Amino acid sequence: MTPTFGRILILAGLLIALVGLILTFAPRLPLLGKLPGDLSFKWGSACVYIPVATCVILSVLLTIILNIFRR
């Protein structure tokens, strides 16, 4: 085993912990999933939800954060 493999395992653990925190606190965020660009359709008893604006905002934020860490 190399030191690089150890770093990868540490980063993977931190990423899993971060995802766990996001999943724990996401329902408490007021606008997440309810932005004007998010689409929802209802046909009888079926509902389709497409969070377009939420995905774009999360993608931009993650891109900025990852670019900061890469430099």
Domain spans of the chain? Answer: 1-29, 31-71
- Position 14 scores a pLDDT of 92
- pTM of the prediction? 0.56
- Position 46 scores a pLDDT of 92
The Cα diameter of the chain in Å comes to 57
Helices (H), ranges, 1-71 = 3-25, 52-70
- Position 21 scores a pLDDT of 86
**Angle subtended at Cα 14 by Cα 32 and Cα 23, rounded to the nearest 5 degrees:** 25
Span 40-58, average pLDDT: 89
Span 21-33, average pLDDT: 75
User: Six-digit token pair at 23?
Assistant: 């999943």
